[in-house]
A and B are shown apart, each in its own frame.
Chain A
Amino acid sequence: MNKTVIGILAAGALLASVPWLGVPAFYESFLYLLCHWMILALSWNILSGYSGYFSFGHGAFFGIGMYTSAGLAANLNWPFLWTLPAAALLAALLGMALGAVVFRVKSVRGELFALLTLAITFVVGTIVLNTRIDGGPGIYLNSVAIPAIGPTASSSIYLMALLGAVATLLISYRIQASRLGMGLFAIHDDEDVAEVMGVPTFRYKLLAFGISCALAGLAGGIHALFVSYVTAGETFTIVVPLTVVLMSVLGGTRHWAGPAVGAVAITCLMYFFTAGNNPIAGKAAVGVILVLVILFMPNGILGYFLKRTAGKRSVPPALAAQAAAAPEAAPAPAASGKVLLDVQNLSKAFKGVQALDGVSLQVHEGEILGLLGPNGSGKSTFINVVSGHFPATGGQMFFEGRQLAGLEAHSIAQAGIARTYQIPRPFAHLTVLQNVALVAMFGGAALNHEQATQEAWKWLEFTGLQDKADALPDDLNLHQRKFLELTRALASRPRLVLLDEVLSGLTPGEINEAIALIRKIRDRGATIVFVEHVMRAVMALADRVAVLNYGKLIAVGPAQEVMQNSEVVSAYLGTPHA
């Protein structure tokens, strides 16, 4: 039990004592509202804030929860407390059913996901209104027995909400610190890369959505009792989603407590304005605040203040552990000749363009293979297909005997294949250390959070980036970003490393460093396939080279020999017309 958890529980216990302090009922109602919005905003943030899938449909699941509780309690005479888990469960199931369909469609992200979920709200609302669930008149809960948790009815409702809020805070905190949270943050920055680095994106999104909807359903159930009269028109509107977005964005979407801060701030603001003389000015002020926050504090209040007070540096593992110096590696094999990657007749076509045309290639364990060819010959496509970034349109790929074609990218990563991107694609909101640790967590090694961080440190030292561990990728220059790509690729302890133009853009001195590093990597037991244009690097590093032209493999063999092959020469230099 760490300090944060204890803190939350203690605050919760403190607030739970309020009903017995003899304060006017008004305070209970106000605290109820705070808890109510905290549950809604925090639960929304679990999917939308952490992963970037902004949902405008939180109201739908809130409403489902509300109607489930109302219906079960008022119409079917369930004891009220039992309706709450039912509300949460139903909301979660419906949410996950929706997610199962929507998350499979690659292009529904960002604004489109927002609109889709907004549409869901109105569809659900219409269905509820027009069928026997509501039918028009709404549902009255006056006759429902309120569980006697507190001294009065309103305090019981308040305590239920308080419990919900504490639970939600704890859940939100635990998720952020967990693998799920890291995976969601990675999805937020670059979903495709996250998938290639080993994050099971579909599963995680679904899980986060389910938890989010369950909590919204819970909040809805409790709220049904609070308002005691439930109508479709009031429930399935744009109000809940927009308020929740506002609260989370205001408080800070990347922090587990951000939405709670936002919820408290907005609820208090709204109170002052509605209680004051000018509710309209209040509404206008809320709008102005939203605009200003988006423009000037895009990370929210918490984000802004945390950045100011940041300075706490990650601590490298104790020197004793460091004395083991180099990270554990598989014993360095001599170029054993065993085939690690067997590509047979691989083809990949994009709209009308045959990027790879029947490429057959074998990569031997422990070798460094250069993959060359003029612009547009299919080299990057080869890496993209082998790593699972694109599916092949024909042919087979075997890695250590396992068929790769058809596997999802994260499974390929977990099998032991890692890659770098030609234009570095780090996770922009994660520090250098976190970028590397993430891959250690999700790649072939599958370490837990602490082990992954330690592993990350070792690799950062190996590649020389340890001083930049707490920096954000934006603060690095190109050379450092390329090395970050490299470190990320290594952190999962892959058997096969695919490097895509790691050297382009580097100064001659930096290139020399990189060449030395790549040699060290092979000596540690990895097999390397690298795409490169910097010829002297190719000559210095490659045991063999393979040359592609127009998607076809035209030559493979020792470097010096291949580069003098006439077909290769004319592929590069062109043929003069007679």
Chain B
Amino acid sequence: MLEVNNISVNYGAAPALWDVSLQVQPGELVCVVGPNGAGKTTLINAIAGMHRVRAGSLRFNGRDITALASHRFCEAGIAIVPEGRRLFTQMTVLDNLELGSFIASAKVHRKASLAHVLSLFPVLKVKLDSPAGSLSGGQQQMVAIGRALMARPGLLLLDEPSLGLAPLIVMDMFRIIRQINAQGTSVLLVEQNVAMAMELAKRAYVMEEGRIVAQGEASELLTRPEIQKAYLGLEMHE
């Protein structure tokens, strides 16, 4: 479904990603982990069209989307839950959700999508008219996910959804993400919290310093020395 082929992305003048390739098959839940500064956010932003790709290509559902204008990525079927939520804080929760379905193809189904989102996050029902900035961190994350779902995407991108959230809320969040994936949406998840990410995903990629350094089944990656080294700087001598 999603093919990232050897992309290189610059952050300003500096290279942030080198020669990165990954795939997401339809219906999969794939994880990208790595320490801070590894380039995970740059990668997700590039896939969402928020960042120019300097070399390589992006293909989605067989279509080359590398050169598309930023605002066309949503139509193509990709929606993002960005790092730090980035809600439209001055607007109400309902406005934020409705804006998620701004594109024509999603607008038609707005009512149904809204009902679906509220069934996933019932606590938002009473918050619909509150300004988005007034919600707690966990609730804001729900709105951010809801906003992306309103776009009825084929692929949902999540950038560090657990950031700044209490562990219990994170568990809840991940349960819902699993549910979303089960309902048919492919998911690409970037996380710093390795342990939890590995529980969620079947397949994972490990990034360090702008490159992919390991990939494979989640369960066996956790024991690999690359992760110990990337995160803790420890060379594990077996």
By a beta-carbon cutoff of 8 Å, the part of chain A in contact with chain B is 374-376, 476-479, 501, 504-505, 507-508, 533-536, 538-539, 559-560, 563-564, 568-570, 572-577
The minimal Cβ–Cβ distance linking B117 to chain A, given in whole angstroms, is: 25
Query: Contact at A539–B196, with CB atoms within 8 Å?
Result: no
Q: Which of B24-32, B53-61, B106-114, B159-167 contacts A (4 or more CB under 8 A)?
A: B159-167
- Give the residue name and chain of the B residue nearest to A508 (CB): B209
Q: Which of B9-17, B95-103, B145-153 contacts A (4 or more CB under 8 A)?
A: B9-17
Query: Contact at B231–A572, with CB atoms within 8 Å?
Result: yes
Most interface-central of A501, A504, A560 (chain B CB within 10 A) = A504
Given contacts A374-B36, A376-B163, A501-B37, contact A535 B229 (CB under 8 A): yes
Contacts of B177 in A (CB 8 A): none
Which range contains the number of B residues in contact with the other chain? 20 to 34
Contacts of A376 in B (CB 8 A): 163-164
With A375-B192, A478-B15, A576-B199 given, name 6 new contacts (CB 8 A).
A476-B13, A505-B15, A505-B16, A564-B232, A570-B195, A576-B196
Q: Is B234 part of the contact surface with A, judged by Cβ < 8 Å? A: yes
Query: Contact at A535–B37, with CB atoms within 8 Å?
Result: no
Most interface-central of B160, B232, B233 (chain A CB within 10 A) = B233
Query: Contact at B14–A477, with CB atoms within 8 Å?
Result: yes
Query: Contact at A573–B230, with CB atoms within 8 Å?
Result: no
Contacts of B192 in A (CB 8 A): 374-375, 572, 574
How far apart are the CA atoms of A63 and B162 in the complex, in Å? Answer: 60
Contacts of A563 in B (CB 8 A): 232-234
Contacts of A533 in B (CB 8 A): 35-37
Contacts of A573 in B (CB 8 A): 193-195, 227, 231-232
Contacts of A574 in B (CB 8 A): 162, 192-197
Contacts of B12 in A (CB 8 A): 478
- Give the residue name and chain of the B residue nearest to A564 (CB): B234
How far apart are the CA atoms of A539 and B229 in the complex, in Å? Answer: 11
Contacts of A559 in B (CB 8 A): 233
The minimal Cβ–Cβ distance linking A531 to chain B, given in whole angstroms, is: 10
| A–B Cβ pairs within 8 angstroms, 9 of them | A375-B160, A505-B15, A505-B37, A535-B229, A535-B231, A535-B234, A564-B234, A573-B232, A577-B199
How far apart are the CA atoms of A576 and B218 in the complex, in Å? Answer: 13
Given contacts A533-B37, A574-B194, A574-B196, contact A477 B233 (CB under 8 A): no
Query: Contact at B232–A535, with CB atoms within 8 Å?
Result: yes
Query: Contact at B36–A375, with CB atoms within 8 Å?
Result: yes
Contacts of B35 in A (CB 8 A): 533, 535, 572
Query: Contact at B14–A478, with CB atoms within 8 Å?
Result: yes
How far apart are the CA atoms of A508 and B213 in the complex, in Å? Answer: 14
Q: Is B115 part of the contact surface with A, judged by Cβ < 8 Å? A: no
By a beta-carbon cutoff of 8 Å, the part of chain B in contact with chain A is 11-16, 35-37, 160, 162-164, 167, 171, 192-199, 209-210, 227, 229-234
Contacts of B195 in A (CB 8 A): 570, 573-576
Query: Contact at A478–B199, with CB atoms within 8 Å?
Result: no
The minimal Cβ–Cβ distance linking A236 to chain B, given in whole angstroms, is: 38
How far apart are the CA atoms of A564 and B195 in the complex, in Å? Answer: 16
Contacts of B199 in A (CB 8 A): 576-577
Query: Contact at A536–B36, with CB atoms within 8 Å?
Result: no
- Give the residue name and chain of the A residue nearest to B35 (CB): A533
Given contacts A533-B37, A574-B195, contact A505 B11 (CB under 8 A): yes
Contacts of A536 in B (CB 8 A): 229, 233
Query: Contact at B14–A505, with CB atoms within 8 Å?
Result: yes
Contacts of A504 in B (CB 8 A): 37
The minimal Cβ–Cβ distance linking B202 to chain A, given in whole angstroms, is: 16
- Give the residue name and chain of the A residue nearest to B193 (CB): A574
Contacts of A575 in B (CB 8 A): 167, 195
How far apart are the CA atoms of A534 and B38 in the complex, in Å? Answer: 9
Query: Contact at B37–A569, with CB atoms within 8 Å?
Result: no
The minimal Cβ–Cβ distance linking A424 to chain B, given in whole angstroms, is: 10
Contacts of B196 in A (CB 8 A): 574, 576-577
How far apart are the CA atoms of A534 and B229 in the complex, in Å? Answer: 10
Contacts of A478 in B (CB 8 A): 11-15
Most interface-central of A505, A534, A564 (chain B CB within 10 A) = A505
Contacts of B167 in A (CB 8 A): 575, 577
How far apart are the CA atoms of A576 and B222 in the complex, in Å? Answer: 11
Most interface-central of B162, B171, B229, B231 (chain A CB within 10 A) = B231
Contact of B233 among A476, A508, A538, A576 (CB under 8 A): A538
Contacts of A568 in B (CB 8 A): 232
How far apart are the CA atoms of A267 and B12 in the complex, in Å? Answer: 43
Considering the complex of A and B, which 9 residue pairs feature the smallest CB-CB distances, nearest first?
A535-B233, A478-B14, A574-B193, A574-B195, A576-B195, A504-B37, A533-B37, A533-B36, A573-B194
How far apart are the CA atoms of A214 and B197 in the complex, in Å? Answer: 66
The minimal Cβ–Cβ distance linking A556 to chain B, given in whole angstroms, is: 16
Contacts of A501 in B (CB 8 A): 37
- Give the residue name and chain of the B residue nearest to A374 (CB): B192
How far apart are the CA atoms of A536 and B15 in the complex, in Å? Answer: 20
Contacts of A538 in B (CB 8 A): 233
How far apart are the CA atoms of A197 and B194 in the complex, in Å? Answer: 39
